[in-house]
Every structure is written in C-alpha cells, then in structure tokens.
Amino acid sequence: MYMITFQLIGSCGTVTAPSDVRDFLTAHLAPADRIEHVTATAGLEADRIDLVFFALADSEAEALLTARGACLRALDRAPELIAWRLLGDAAGDGPGSR
C-alpha cells in the first residue's frame, strides 16, 4: 500500500469543509482505482485542503497515477468541487520509497 498526498487550492473565498471534499472525492472512486482510504484536512492556508490517498498498487508510480486520476476525475465530475484545483505534484510514501 502506498500513501499519496495532494493539496487542493480553492478560488478566492472558496469555503468547503474538508470532510465534504473527502465525501465528494470518494463518491467518484471506482473499484479499479484500488484506493482503500482518503483523508482530507484543512491546510495551513484557508484556501487549501490537504489530501491523503492510501492506494494498493504494484509500484509507487502506479499509485501516484491512479490517485491523481481519481482526484482529477472527482474534480471534473463533482459540481461542488468546481472552485477547487489540484496544486502541484503529488508525493508518495510506501514500500521502496526513499
């Protein structure tokens, strides 16, 4: 299992509770994503939400691509997340990580 982290950034004045963001994200997960758990917490800045995906995968690269794809899919499909976007690159932590 790999732990993949992302950060969402909201448009100016965006207010969405992290627990709601988590629910919107998990609603768009597919069994093929093999994502076991998602957490969402308020970031250090008001317009940020920190995400953590726990993904089953054969490699860290696969986990990163799968979690990123699942996140982008939810951002594209959930109207409640229209003001949010993925910030920068993801980071991973799992077997074989340095």
Q: Would residue 83 count as lying in a domain?
A: yes
pTM: 0.82
- pLDDT of res. 31: 95
pLDDT by residue for the chain (98 residues), tens only, comes to: 999 999 998 876 666 677 888 899 999 999 999 999 999 998 877 788 999 999 999 999 999 999 999 999 999 998 888 888 898 755 555 554 43
- pLDDT of res. 97: 42
Q: Would residue 98 count as lying in a domain?
A: no
Q: Would residue 55 count as lying in a domain?
A: yes
- pLDDT of res. 48: 87
- pLDDT of res. 84: 87
Are 43 and 10 within 8 A, CB to CB? no
The number of folded domains in the chain is 1
Q: Which domain holds residue 25?
A: 2-91
For position 26, which CATH number holds? 3.30.70
Q: What is the DSSP letter of 28?
A: T
Q: Would residue 96 count as lying in a domain?
A: no
Q: Would residue 20 count as lying in a domain?
A: yes
